[in-house]
Amino acid sequence: MTWSYGYDWMEDYQDATALAQISVENDYLRNGANILMHDRVWTYGALGQMIDGLRENGYHIVDPKIIKARNNIIME
């Protein structure tokens, strides 16, 4: 699995609200996107806002364990 984008390591986005906003409003967001997130306080704080924003934009959160690889094998 490769990451589509991630902003939580950048100083400008080490704030929950700023991180949530850029995570749901950027040119890299599309169906199948994988958002890179690290275990930081601001990332944890942004998570709920990000999920709400993604859902409001018509996206769904998917468990990576159910994603099929190119050769049709379910990842575990």
Per-residue pLDDT, averaged over 46-58, amounts to 96
Torsion of CA 12, 13, 17, 19, to 10 degrees: 150
- The pair of structure tokens assigned to 65 is 């364990």
**CA–CA distance, 45 with 28 (Å, rounded to integer):** 22
pLDDT at 39: 93
Instruction: Output the pTM of the full model.
Output: 0.77
Burial of 19 (0-12, 13-18, 19+ CB in 10 A): buried
Q: What is the pLDDT of residue 66?
A: 80
8 Å CB contact between 6 and 37: yes
Q: Which of the listed ranges 4-13, 37-46, 63-72 does the model predict with the highest average pLDDT?
A: 37-46
